[in-house]
Amino acid sequence: MTYAEARTPDPKKFIPGATGEWELIVGLEVHAQISSKAKLFSGASAEFGGAPNDHVSLVDAAMPGMLPVINRFCVEQAVKTGLGLKAKINKRSVFDRKNYFYPDLPQGYQISQFKDPIVGAGKVILDMPDETVEVGIERLHMEQDAGKSIHDLVPGKSVIDLNRSGVALMEIVSLPDVRSSEEAREYVTKLRTILRYLGTCDGNMEQGSLRADVNVSVRRPGEPFGTRCEIKNVNSIRFIGQSIEYEARRQIDILEDGGSIDQETRLFDPKSGQTRSMRSKEEAHDYRYFPDPDLLPLEFDQVLVDEIAASLPELPDEKKARLISDFGLSPYDASVLITDPADAAFFEDVAKGRDGKLAANWVINELSGRLNKDGHGIADSPISAGQLGAVIDLIEEKVISGKIAKDLFEIVWAEGGNPREIVEARGMKQVTDTGAIEAVVDEIIAANGDKAEAVKEKPNMIGWFVGQVMKATQGKANPQAVNDILKAKLGLDG
């Protein structure tokens, strides 16, 4: 019995139909390009881009007599990924020929793994808002990518670019454990994060180094699995969610009208938000798998596995637990920060020796918000961890207020410099002299006697007075001192 069959149906995730509720069943096959300078079976460059057919060896072009030679580094990367997925490592695996004809597949077959993959069962844990979900990994196998057919470059013709031909891929196959589009998006997000931490795939979906085939079916709760349709090569997490939602509704509508689902391969059209039929779905026997006679079985010993295991970095789940423990972060903030290893490292540099919650707030809300707005990543940040840490120090020392800190942040973002020196040079220190603040408060109360009387009946109006004092002091007054003095002057401190 698979985890999917054992999982208790969750009525909160059922999809309503005209004749009752339906349960969504999703499995994903994620193709992750291995981070390697060379291809899986040749020494040609695996770098993205380049002129058409510039990164092609005789092996990639399937010239007669050319034999594949396995790339050891790619094998190590696959083992490393398997360990990161808490999966079984198979010390003996076999490369097979998967036979089908495409113009951009020069050999007439793809070298892949079928019955004996390099990695077996593993798991990915999803932290959903209301529950923790375990998605089982059925297998991870290595295979070579195909080339690319281009249909709109030369009028009336299709042309072939073999630069990707032979690029090393890991196909990570999940069990059909996913029960909603939200879980599917979170699964791919979490898987991409794990791969990035491991350094085995850059996870760049825009360049095609991570893409997913999404298998979708529906059933009435408690019934056997329905007929599935496979949506090929979905290249964004948002599109994964959209394609699942459309396909599930399409299947439900057909079944409720008395029809049946044809097992087929479909494509997702981002412009229309719909899936459309591509071809009938192939089964394993259609590909006539057999062991590749040019490649011996891949065998290695436990020593190699242990060496790779010893080199593993701290992975996302472990890092999240540590950030919560060491810095007092909420699970949500820790989840946001670990999504990208560079973000997590930047946060730790900022938070070292400082209030973790305050540091997380500035990294997540102020810095990341500004970076996203400008289309940058943390590596392109104009503000270093040291500069942001200095801004936080000034807040904690009560040299500047939160409002002034945001102004200071903008100055450092645009001009750079030492935050502490900028505060000194521009007179940005907050006013902590209670006598000076009291004088401003007295002036504002005297000028607004009617509001001063009304605040006794409506204490919430004190916010208006706070705003006036901050405005009069150009945001430099210590907010806590302003509140305390106003409460005393307006008779609200009792």
- Residue 493 has a pLDDT of 65
- Residue 1 has a pLDDT of 41
- Residue 387 has a pLDDT of 96
- Beta-carbon contacts of residue 234 (< 8 Å; ≥ 6 apart): 211, 212, 213, 214, 240, 243, 268
Phi/psi for 197 (5° steps) reads -60, -40
Segment 100-151, tens digit of pLDDT: 888 889 999 999 999 999 999 999 999 998 889 999 999 999 999 999 888 8
Per-residue pLDDT of the chain (494 residues; tens, 9 = 90+): 455 555 778 888 889 888 789 999 999 999 999 999 999 999 999 998 889 999 999 999 999 999 999 999 999 999 999 999 999 999 999 999 999 888 889 999 999 999 999 999 999 999 998 889 999 999 999 999 999 888 888 888 889 999 999 999 999 999 999 999 999 999 999 999 999 999 999 999 988 899 999 999 999 998 999 999 999 999 999 999 999 999 999 999 999 999 999 999 999 999 999 999 987 766 767 889 999 999 999 999 999 999 999 999 999 999 999 999 999 999 999 999 999 999 999 999 999 999 999 999 999 999 999 999 888 889 899 999 999 999 999 999 888 888 889 999 999 999 999 999 999 888 887 766 567 777 777 788 787 777 777 777 777 777 788 788 778 777 777 777 777 777 777 777 65
Q: How far apart are CA 191 and CA 187, in angstroms?
A: 6
Contact 211, 235 (CB under 8 A): yes
Which pTM does this prediction carry? 0.84
Taking the CB of residue 209, how many other CB atoms lie within 10 A of it?
22
- Residue 19 has a pLDDT of 79
- Residue 249 has a pLDDT of 95
- Residue 124 has a pLDDT of 96
Segment 194-252, tens digit of pLDDT: 999 999 999 999 888 999 999 999 999 989 999 999 999 999 999 999 999 999 999 99
Q: How far apart are CA 163 and CA 284, in angstroms?
A: 27
Instruction: Write down all domains in the chain, each with its CATH number in brackets.
Output: 3-308 (no CATH), 313-425 (no CATH), 434-489 (1.10.10)
- Residue 87 has a pLDDT of 97
Contact 68, 84 (CB under 8 A): no
Q: How far apart are CA 92 and CA 190, in angstroms?
A: 28
- Beta-carbon contacts of residue 376 (< 8 Å; ≥ 6 apart): none
CA of 300: how far to CAs of 79, 115, 141, 248, 484, in Å?
11, 18, 16, 43, 71
Q: How far apart are CA 1 and CA 20, in angstroms?
A: 27
